[in-house]
Amino acid sequence: MATRTGKVDPQDARRVKHTHIGIWDLYEECQTDKQGSSILETYTWIRESSPYAVRMLRDIFSIRRVQILLPIFLIVEVLGSLMPAISLWYIGQLLRLIEPAMETRTVDTTVFVHVAVGHLACAVATRLFKYLRRCTIFPMDISITQFYAGRTFHSIVSLDVPTYTQFVHSGKLGIPDSDLDSTSSVECEIIQVSTNITMTVVRLLSQFLVLVTVLREQQDGLLLAILSFSQPIFHWDGTRKAVARSLVWVATTTNKDFIRMNALKLFVHDPRCRKEVVTGNLSEHITAQFRESVQRVGGDAVDFIELDRILSIKDSLSAVHILRETMHMLPQIIFTLRVVQKPMTLPLYLVSLVLMYQVSNSFSSPPFSESPFSQFVSLAKKFTYVRTVYEIENVRNQVVDGTESFPEDKQSLRSGISIEFRNVTFQYPGNEKYAFHNVSFKIGAGQLCVIVGINGSGKSTVLKLISRVYDPTEGTILIDDRDIKTLKLADLRSAMSILFQDYAHFPVPIRENIGLGNPALANDDDKIREAARLGGAEEFIDDLPDGFNTSLEGPSLNHYSRFEGSSSFGPPIDFSFLRSVAGIRSTYGPALSGGQMQRLAVSRTFMRSLPSETEPSAGMLLFDEPSASLDPKAEHTLFERLRKLRGSKTIIFSTHRFGNLTRHADLILYMDESVHEQGTHDELMRKGGEYAHVWNLQAEPFL
């Protein structure tokens, strides 16, 4: 057993079988519905999605690997579907033995051997075609999955906040997981299902024609041929049986690229990260990172669950499987031989029964055991997924991009950016109440502005409108005296850095959590450390075991034979020993305090305040409640650093806590669904209004 220190006894470790499969490490502890859709609905699905299916086929055929594998796959499928008919023809030749045997009491050995050998050859060929089918479909599946993975990833990551939110709430973001994960793709499944439907028809027609040909001279031959197909038609069932594991096992992977791919997918799908993705201009950067990881991991980029299918290929051509196919047909041959040896009055009908059994047996295994209609319904539903994949590429963001570059002179960012709201009103989508109404103010370039007010007063909304997360319902916002809607979004967001109140941390290491604040400097370790120092995070990061390489959270890429502690299907299983041998941590990432997490977010915001060799730093910093989880000392340090940036950057600080920063602000906006008061601290205190009242309430405990 594993000791308390986490070390594993070498003797106990011998009880664990370790297998390395692709990017995965497997550790095993050795033991001493019926479809309800109507035909009309299914037809409608197919008809509406057919243009997208055609587009899908064009895209798939553009993949070089698929251009080679798909024709091979189709040829193998056609030949494999004809094997039952050929085998049926060989069995039908036994009828040639019956009449001479009845008359002469002898058997034509040559004909019998010819039939037996031909029939066995068909059985071996059938197994060979099944093997070749798997050898082509899996690499083709991986190629198609990788083709669509980066494409769909970029489509989703490029959505702005209101569009993404609308898709999530409406349920239209129905992208199947397989188009984002490196597993079986819906597009490849469509090819398989379509082929299965076609090959089912080929099987039916080819065997029916063979049976009619063989029985054409026999009385009631046509009737017998029709009856032969009654069993598979009336017993087609689309249900599937689940495969369960009984062995206790643990699987994990240490492949950095595969872990990174899954981490970036979590990043994209986490609604908390959406604003950072949009305002940080991260879509192109992280898409490039994702594609690089996909390319590096290559054909090994499959989830562990998919390995079951891949590994089953090794056993599909084994002698046991071939013998099983052969033994399945021997009872028919032996039975027919006995009939020939002892002719009776109904020998022809006995052979006919053998033929009928052969037809029924050819449709007893998947995918031919499923009815064509159930497969057709499944195909129709998959077409709707493909439609969603392509439709999302054409979705227009609600925040329309501008056409003018900003700024005209990038060196002007060194003195900050001016902002003006003119009679701005905003209402969140789906809300009846306005976030604020008729707001007007102007912040000069390089000024420090503090927006104060109670919760829900519209402070955070001001920052979202400046960064164009949303556009105002009414009114105009000017940036350096230019309408904000005319400016290119990428340029505008590159010129600012923003920290939201509901900030998010990305499922990547701390180094990247900070570095993504400025994609242009994301690989500059010195800049990342400088940003961490400015955000007050450097000291505690250095104290972490992995320092800046520490991962906060990430995708769970460990798989177990059953959930730990589960009481279903048997007693609970303790995987602690196997985890110790495999080096799997029970938790992912360190437990950081709220203040430490906020310092990381502040550090990410400071990344854009650092200039690069080719670009000046951002001209505007937006902070939404950045000190909510900070202790007084950390808050004071943050305020001091922000004050030093005054004059070189426009700083907007939103808070409901009146701290020392307000004393040094060039402009204070007191909001409550509108700007009720604006001015400097001294001016507002002399005015004796609501700002002065709240200031005195907060200061009273300290006086």
Find the CATH number of the domain harbouring 160: 1.20.1560
Q: Is the omega angle on the peptide bond into residue 271 within 30 degrees of 0, that is, cis? A: no
Q: Are 559 and 305 in contact (CB under 8 A)?
A: yes
Distance (Å, rounded) from C-alpha 478 to C-alpha 13?
A: 68
Same-domain check for residues 516 and 430: no
Q: Cα–Cα distances in Å, from 398 out to 286, 458, 470, 472?
A: 22, 21, 8, 12
Question: Which CATH number fits the domain that encloses residue 596?
Answer: 3.40.50.300
Strands 650-655 and 419-426: unpaired
Place of tokens 């090994």: 300
Tell me which residue has tokens 């040639």: 96
Mark whether 185 and 104 lie in a shared domain: yes
Structural domain includes residue 61: yes
Same domain, 49 and 195: yes
In the chain, the N- to C-terminal Cα span, in Å, equals 61
Q: Which residues of the chain have pLDDT under 50?
A: 1-6, 33-37, 176-183, 237-246, 331, 345-346, 567-569
Inside any domain, residue 567: no
> Could you tell me if residue 373 is inside a domain?
yes
Which of 360, 393, 426 corresponds to the end of one domain?
393
Same domain, 80 and 150: yes
Give the contacts of 165 (CB within 8 A, at least 6 positions apart): 271, 274, 429
- Domain stop point among 602, 618, 634: 618
CA 634 → CA 327, 532, 701, 703, distances in Å?
79, 13, 20, 22
**Has residue 326 been placed in a domain?**
yes
Asked if 98 and 196 sit in the same domain, the reply is yes
For residue 449, give the DSSP letter: E
- Do 148 and 210 lie in a common domain? yes
What pLDDT was estimated at residue 205? 83
- Domain end point (choices 362, 393, 424): 393
Query: Which position has the token pair 């993504």?
Result: 516
Cα distance between residue 259 and residue 253, in whole Å = 8
Residue 526's domain comprises 502-553+589-618
Could you tell me if residue 485 is inside a domain?
yes
625 and 603 co-located in one domain: no
Give domain status of residue 243, yes or no. Answer: no
Q: Quick one: which of 534, 504, 113 has its CA closest to 275?
A: 504
| Residue 405 near residue 491, CB atoms below 8 Å | yes
Predicted pLDDT at 648: 84
Q: Say how many domains are in the chain.
A: 3
The per-residue pLDDT for 424 is 95
In a domain, residue 531? The reply is yes
Q: Does 648 share its domain with 611?
A: no
User: Does some domain include residue 261?
Assistant: no
CA-atom Rg of the chain in angstroms: 35
637 and 608 together in one domain = no
Concatenated DSSP letters for 176-234?
-GGGTSSS--HHHHHHHHHHHHHHHHHHHHHHHHHHHHHHTTSTTHHHHHHHHTHHHHH
Beta-carbon contacts of 268 under 8 Å, excluding residues fewer than 6 positions away, are 153, 156, 157, 277, 286
Residues 83 and 146 in one domain: yes
Q: Same domain, yes or no, for 382 and 477? A: no
Q: What does the pLDDT read at residue 583? A: 77
Residues 465 and 510 in one domain: no
Among 329, 313, 330, CA closest to 362: 329
